[in-house]
Amino acid sequence: MIKQVPNPLIEVHDLTVSYHTKPVLWNIDFSISKGQLVGIIGPNGAGKSTLLKSIMGLIEPQSGYVKIFDKNIDEIRDRVSYVPQRESVDWDFPASALDVVLMGRYSRKSWFKRYTKLDREIAFESLDKVNMKAFANRQISQLSGGQQQRVFLARALAQQTELYLMDEPFAGVDASTEESILQLLIKMTKEGKTILVVHHDLQTAFKYFDWMVMLNTSLIASCPSADAMTEEVIQNTYGGKLPLLSTISNLIKQKNLPIRE
Amino acid sequence: MLETLKEFFSFTDANVTFVMIGSILIGASSAVVGCFSVLRKRALIGDVISHSVLPGICIAFLLFNSKNPFVLLGGAFLSGWLSIIWVDYIERNSNIKSDAAIGIVLSVFFGAGILILTVIQHSGNAAQSGLDHFIFGNIASMLRQDLYVLSGMSLFLLIIILLFYKPFVYISFDRNYAVSLGMPVRFYDFMLSSITVLAVTVGIQAVGVVLMSALLITPAVAARFLTSKLNYMLLIAALISSVCCIIGTFISYTAPSMPTGPWIIVVLMLLSMLAVFFSPSRGILINKWRQQKNYRKILEENVLKLLFQLCEKTGFKEQEWNISQMLDKRNMGEQQLKQTLRRLEKKGLVEKKSAEWTATVNGVIIGKRMVRLHRLWEVYLTQYLKLPSDHVHETAEAMEHILNPELEAQLETILNKPEFDPHNSKIPYQDE
Ligand SMILES: Nc1ncnc2c1ncn2[C@@H]1O[C@H](COP(=O)(O)OP(=O)(O)O)[C@@H](O)[C@H]1O
Ligand SMILES: [Mg+2]
């Protein structure tokens, strides 16, 4: 179930990525159109983070290419922002939440300058959007996992770009915050921004996303969420390993899941 | 001793002044560079570089037959760089982990260095004396010209860090994100590696090859214990290191046969131990003290709970209890119980009448709260996590000391103020 879209905002073409000759992504080929909230779904080790890193140009692919806005990523970095997985950094680093969010205000022209008043305002606004304004001056080592995740999200928001790639932004976040972040993302896509979100909870994925990219080393599906909700796709993505699977096939049989328009 | 101290710090001797300024600059620059090594989790890289500069120095000396600082430092810089490249190469192209790669490169270079140094020393070359300063470092007896070069280089390092502070922080915290922003990360990597090599090359003149990584890393680690602000960390590290360098130099000055390096490092270690032990925010002592305080608080709360439960059992007819009655109900040491009761007495939470103890009004409030929290938590676990009721006591025992009033209020609301816990004991609310 792979649907290509006309005039794609992201085009991933025949991408193969390996670590030390061990292939992690095989011939991935899909396209995403503008203004979508896209879920990238797959089990642990499926290559979701690797896919985001390849799109961001952080890893050299073995073959294939990625085009964003019809350009190479290096030409349009100021139009894309990236939210890494929380575990990718050492949170004992001596910095406050605000310090981290301000990093999103980097610009090539002023790499040596101090941040302006506007930068600070935008940073505070971004923290506010993820309900973290009260923690602006808190040391990042003192934040909970979910709060650290939200600091990363705020840092990307502070970049004010058109395309966002987020690696597990909901990991460790409590249910009510997850809902408020989801509303924020929906609002952003309504404003024409495009957002790719790596997510591991299949049950909520069908509710959250307009479009799904289902992955397990190779690409299983790239299509509107409703079309991805077939037993075959889920079976191929998660294999027989998923204990949740029976509950989910039940859900699918009922076929009355609320899917957002 | 006092005379020399006066002489040393009166700056009447121009030589001493230069040595002082040199020590401060060398100490500060290597400490600041070291902060970035520590933050990038590459603390060991200083070790590789410092051991690897030795063959560079020796070969440069052999080739040019000169002890000109530029020649020797040039050789040192080149072989230092070579070692980093080699470590990187091994890491990238094999399954060997970073620490093993560092071990391999370090021993190969240092072995080669010692070998060449021995050859030079046996060659009877008159100019060779002084090369062994690189092993232990000796800044106090350094030539004026050499000091100029070293101070200049240290100043240069400090300026570079000041200038590139922002990008260095970015790539130290989150390198991938820096790439995603379009920063020229490879260039900054190169800069950081180069200044590390340079800092080591300069620093070995003060403390020598073997102790150099201590000069690089220790001030950063100590400073991290004292602050969680990055700019302060750099400042404190520089300060600690400079002070140690001055003290080490002073000792060398008073006893010229003493090598500078080991003294600097000994003082540095002492100061760092002080920081590690006595840091008011993360020091070992304050942690121990906090643990102790928590432990006592838990003991006190448990005793108040115990008194409440004893009263509860008799339907609050009896309020006064002696030690053995308490020990029957709860398994704890007699000494511990007596000490805890005495502390509670001082706080006005219990009173002693002859040999019997009773909780005061405030004591009852706390004891009651502990019992309430314990039972509420048990209800929560059985209802929400579906745990069997004989599995909930242990966690509740810990939770009662952790839950704060806000969480308590939340718990009461979600559970809808239940009347009984899973073991059918009544939950005592404050207003009853
Ligand atoms: N830096 C790396 N070096 C070697 N193997 C890696 C590296 N990063 C990830 N892998 C491997 O690649 C596979 C995909 O990883 P990843 O993209 O992180 O998966 P996901 O994000 O879907 O859990 C996993 O098997 C993982 O072990
Ligand atoms: Mg991942």
d(CA A167, CA A150): 12
d(CA A237, CA A243): 13
- Number of C-beta neighbours around residue A12 at 10 A: 24
The pLDDT value given to residue A246: 43
**Among chain A residues, CA nearest to B95:** A20
Contacting A with CB below 8 Å, chain B residues are 39, 41, 95, 163-164, 166-167, 169-170, 172-174, 176-177, 179-183, 224, 227-230, 233
Give me the phi and psi of A132, to 5 degrees please: -125, 15
Label residue A51 by pLDDT band (50, 70, 90). Answer: very high
d(CA A218, CA A17): 11
The pLDDT value given to residue A102: 96
The pLDDT value given to residue B129: 65
User: Contact B48/B105 with Cβ under 8 angstroms?
Assistant: yes
pLDDT at residue B415 greater than cutoff 80: yes
Point out the least confidently predicted range of A164-168, B1-5, B37-41, B181-185.
B1-5
Domains of chain B: 14-279 (1.10.3470.10), 287-359 (1.10.10.10)
Q: Say whether A106 and B172 touch across the interface (CB within 8 A).
A: no
Six-digit token string for B222: 């100590």
Which of the given ranges, B202-206, B227-231, B351-355, has the highest pLDDT on average?
A: B227-231
Closest chain A C-alpha to B286 CA, distance in angstroms: 17
The pLDDT value given to residue B128: 65
Closest chain A C-alpha to B242 CA, distance in angstroms: 22
Tens of pLDDT, residues B338-386: 999 999 999 999 998 888 899 999 999 999 999 999 999 888 888 887 7
pLDDT at residue B183 greater than cutoff 90: yes
Q: In chain B, how long is the greatest CA-to-CA distance?
A: 99
Give me the phi and psi of A224, to 5 degrees please: -55, 145
Instruction: Report the interhelical angle of A145-158 vs A117-129 (nearest 10°).
Output: 130
The pLDDT value given to residue B158: 96
User: Contact B253/B16 with Cβ under 8 angstroms?
Assistant: yes
User: Contact B240/B222 with Cβ under 8 angstroms?
Assistant: yes
Higher model confidence: residue B138 or residue B336? B336
Six-digit token string for B211: 């102790």
Partners of residue A199 on adjacent β-strands:
A41
Tens of pLDDT, residues B304-315: 999 999 998 888
Tens of pLDDT, residues B315-341: 888 888 888 888 888 888 889 999 999
d(CA B128, CA B110): 19
The secondary structure of B69-116 as a DSSP string is HHHHHHHHHHHHHHHHHHHHHHHHHSS--HHHHHHHHHHHHHHHHHHH
The pLDDT value given to residue B127: 60
d(CA B347, CA B325): 22
Label residue A257 by pLDDT band (50, 70, 90). Answer: very low
The secondary structure of A189-222 as a DSSP string is HHTT-EEEEEE--HHHHHHH-SEEEEEESEEEEE
Q: What is the average pLDDT score of chain B?
A: 88
d(CA B314, CA B246): 72
The share of chain A scoring above pLDDT 70, in percent, equals 92
d(CA B393, CA B377): 9
Point out the least confidently predicted range of B238-252, B264-278, B418-432.
B418-432
Q: In chain A, what residues touch B233 (CB-CB under 8 Å)?
A: 94
Nearest alpha-carbon partner for A84 in B422, B397, B176? B176
Which three-class secondary structure state does DSSP give residue B274? helix
pLDDT at residue B290 greater than cutoff 50: yes
What's the average model confidence in pLDDT over B202-213? 86
A105 C-alpha to ligand 1 centroid (Å): 29
Q: Which among B166, B169, B176 has CB closest to A58?
A: B176
Label residue A245 by pLDDT band (50, 70, 90). Answer: very low
The pLDDT value given to residue B269: 92
Place of tokens 């009773």: B358
Tens of pLDDT, residues B111-121: 999 999 888 88
The pLDDT value given to residue A242: 42
Nearest alpha-carbon partner for A29 in A7, A46, A4, A47? A4
Six-digit token string for B387: 């745990």
The secondary structure of A25-50 as a DSSP string is EEEEEEEE-TT-EEEEE--TTSSHHH
The pLDDT value given to residue A256: 45
d(CA B302, CA B329): 12
What's the average model confidence in pLDDT over B171-177? 96
Tell me the whole-structure pTM to 2 decimals: 0.82
Which three-class secondary structure state does DSSP give residue A245? helix
The pLDDT value given to residue B11: 67
d(CA B260, CA B22): 13
Nearest alpha-carbon partner for B376 in B359, B392, B391? B392
ipTM score: 0.89
Partners of residue B141 on adjacent β-strands:
none
Point out the least confidently predicted range of B47-56, B83-92, B201-210.
B201-210
The share of chain A scoring above pLDDT 90, in percent, equals 66
Q: What is the average pLDDT score of chain A?
A: 87
A196 lines ligand 1 (CB under 6 A): no
Which of the given ranges, B54-58, B262-266, B325-329, B352-356, has the highest pLDDT on average?
A: B54-58
A24 lines ligand 1 (CB under 6 A): yes
Rg (CA), chain B: 32
